[in-house]
Amino acid sequence: MDGQQLNYVQKDPNFTKWLILSIFQLFCCNQMTGIIALVFAILANNDWKAGKFDESNRKYKNAKISIVIGFIIGILIYIAAFALSIFAIMIDMGQY
């Protein structure tokens, strides 16, 4: 690398997508992980604007993990609620 300067271009992550997903999760799926994802997404965006790319990418990854975990928990809760309501209907009909 004699005299050559390496220029690394940081890919600008799509923060808007993760902000929208975290807000959607906050209202529809799981409030706890939605708040966590929203905070991490905002902090990652602020770090990116400040030029702290490594910290931004770490917080961006934490936001994505929180969103995925929240959606999984939300889906499991909806499945459990549906199964319990079907079971309650079957009990009312006298099948159990």
- pLDDT tens by residue, 46-87: 999 999 999 999 999 999 999 999 999 999 999 999 999 999
pLDDT, position 6: 47
Residue 33 lies in a domain: yes
**What is the value of pTM for the model shown?**
0.75
28 within 8 A of 74, measured Cβ to Cβ: yes
Expressed as residue numbers, the domain containing 56 is 15-92
The domain tally of the chain equals 1
Residue 30 lies in a domain: yes
41 within 8 A of 66, measured Cβ to Cβ: no
For the cut 70, the answer to whether the pLDDT of residue 4 exceeds it is: no
pLDDT, position 34: 92
Residue 86 lies in a domain: yes
Residue 1 lies in a domain: no
